[in-house]
Structure 1
Amino acid sequence: MPKKASKNSETDYYATKVAEKVCLSGAKENLLLTEKADYLLEEKAYRSLKGAYHLLHYI
């Protein structure tokens, strides 16, 4: 019986490690997507301000 318990704990250990890697991978991907979205919003805001400046310049 102790051998079976040992195998289960080993399986649990590896399952936990896999779950940790999946969670970290997902968190990293979400962070990258968030950074990309922030960059795109900043770029869009910059272009809007630049366009507004040019419109005011020609008025």
Structure 2
Amino acid sequence: MRSVIVVLLACVGAVLMSGSPAHTQPAPDLDRARVLYASAEKALTEARVEDALRDYKAA
């Protein structure tokens, strides 16, 4: 019985120690996205497709 408790406590300790810390995601930069989207729209109207695709992707 004592060995079962020791094994159980060891398992609980291992689970608690193996938890990874939470990593927060950075906040989206909405102002930068708006600028890139406007730049992409302008590039598309000027038939600069590669530039438009690059800016759409970055936004």
The TM-score with structure 2 as length reference comes to 0.44
Greater per-residue helix proportion: 1
The TM-score with structure 1 as length reference comes to 0.44
- Highest relative contact order (Cα 8 Å, sep 6+), 1 or 2? 2
